[in-house]
Amino acid sequence: MRQSIKLLGMATKDLVEFVDAAVESNPFLKKSKGDVPLGDTPLRDGFDRTANIRQVDNPRLSLISQIRMLGLKPRMTEVAEYLIYEMDDNGYIPDDPEELSEALSADEEEIEEALEIIQGMDPPGIGARDVQECLQLQLERSGKKKSLEYDIVTGFIGELARNDVDKISEELDADKEKVRHAIDNIKKLNPRPASTILSKEAPRVIPDLIAEVKDKKINLMLNRDWLPQLGFYNPYADEPEITKDGEAKKFIKENMCAAKVLIDNLKRREETIYKVTDYILTFQLQGDVSLGDTPLSLTLKEVAAALNLHPSTISRAISNKYVQIDNEVKPLTAFLSKGVQKKDGEIISKANIKKKIETIIKNEDKAKPINDESIRKQLEAEGIRIVRRTIAKYRNSLRILPAYLRKKL
């Protein structure tokens, strides 16, 4: 059972290494198919499986490697990896612990602990909830928690954005020249910490599944070309006398059992990943035949309930897993989106709410831009109930300035 759980959460690359090690140590395991070296995948049915292996600008891969080097307990590793996949491309994890806790069926204490672990990794500022916390984390890392820079970031983030030296100087009773110098130092910090990873060459990503969409139907297949297929092999079948030795008999019995268990667990892993992916993609196909970047609202818990599986099983099945759709590789997590329930009971995804906010701001009077509270009221009129703080969070994630900074005379 422990091995089955471990295998389900493994990325393809890690699984290949695990299987190779098992074959080397267990004489009853044999690869029934040869490995296909990266980049040498043959064509099948006119489908080019080499087209899907591409460089993916994904900061999560580097961070996950850091997580796995920490030697955390499996549950904490699982929570941390889930949060990393919730991270946006700037390096922020903007969701509230309460929302994340519900999605992952985890205690808020576990979420907070995992966040703290991520925020302690490189680059500094990674895993922050917003730009203010991002700058604070970078200042703390450089030993400037008790500095003018930290005080400005903590208490005057709005004034900092406006470069309001006079207001900051007055409120902190600080020399204006020192405030200017502190602001210059703050501007040297990186508000997009993930960019330092994105600028590096990203590791190759191997899709676990390949999907073709035709006539609003999905043809889904496992990408077996990259995984060695294991078979059971008995090298002592023609040597019955070997079982007369007690130690040899024990060795044979233990390794035969281990080989069969591993083969069964690998099969179970494939079945679970296929089943979960098929459900998620079929569900999302209702909303967008191209399976684009705006998924319908679908949570871990909803997938788990539909498939009669535990949410942690769904989390492991999609963690570090990729699917190729029309020669584009996407993480399975991209097809899950937390949602908000409208007055009529309909669930609207966060992605769609963000689009609505973006549209409202795009159509506003630029001389009199509307504030977050006005946006909240407009959404409420459409039956979408969310608090002003959430509006601000979504607006920030869209990199849209607050109303007082959008005003154009």
Q: What is the pLDDT of residue 347?
A: 63
Q: What pLDDT score was predicted for residue 55?
A: 42
Q: Does 315 fall in a domain?
A: yes
Residue 42 — very low, low, confident or very high, per pLDDT cuts 50/70/90? very low
Q: Are residues 274 and 291 in the same domain?
A: yes
Instruction: Give tens-digit pLDDT for 244-283.
Output: 677 878 888 888 888 899 999 999 999 999 999 999 998 8
C-alpha separations of 67 from 77, 78, 103, 111, 239 in Å: 7, 10, 21, 15, 47
Same domain, 174 and 264: no
Query: CA 409 to CA 201: how far, in whole Å?
Result: 44
For residue 197, being part of any structural domain is answered with no
The answer, yes or no, to whether the previous bond of 123 is cis (omega within 30 of 0) is yes
Asked if residue 290 and residue 214 are part of one domain, the reply reads yes
- pLDDT category at 292 given cuts 50, 70, 90 is low
Report residue 210 as tokens: 């390949």
Q: 117 and 136: one domain?
A: no
| 35 and 114 belong to one structural domain | no
Residues β-bridged to residue 341: 347
- Phi, psi angle pair for 44, to nearest 5°: -140, 125
Same domain, 319 and 221: yes
| Dihedral over Cα of 179, 182, 187, 192: its sign | negative
Q: What is the pLDDT of residues 198-236, one digit of tens each?
A: 544 445 677 888 988 887 788 899 887 776 678 887 777
198 assigned to some structural domain: no
- The pair of three-digit structure tokens given for residue 248, joined into one six-digit string: 């040899």
Domain that holds residue 355: 339-406
**Residue 329 domain-assigned?**
yes
Domain assignment present for 308: yes
Q: Is residue 178 part of a domain?
A: yes
**Structural domain count, the chain:** 4
Buried b (16+ CB within 10 A) or exposed e, 196-233: bbbeeebeebbbbbbbebeeeebebebbebbbbebeee
Residue 361 and residue 375 in contact, taking contact as beta carbons nearer than 8 Å: yes
Report if residue 84 sits inside a domain: yes
Same domain for 100 and 46: no
Q: How confident is the model at residue 343 (pLDDT cuts 50, 70, 90)?
A: low
Kindly give, in sequence order, each residue whose CB lies less than 8 Å from that of residue 165, ignoring residues fewer than 6 positions away. 176, 179, 180, 183
| Separation of alpha carbons 324 and 12, rounded Å | 14
Question: Do 400 and 360 lie in a common domain?
Answer: yes
Same domain? 255 vs 306: yes
- For the chain, the average pLDDT equals 80
What is the distance between the alpha carbons of residues 84 and 82, in angstroms, rounded to a whole number? Answer: 5
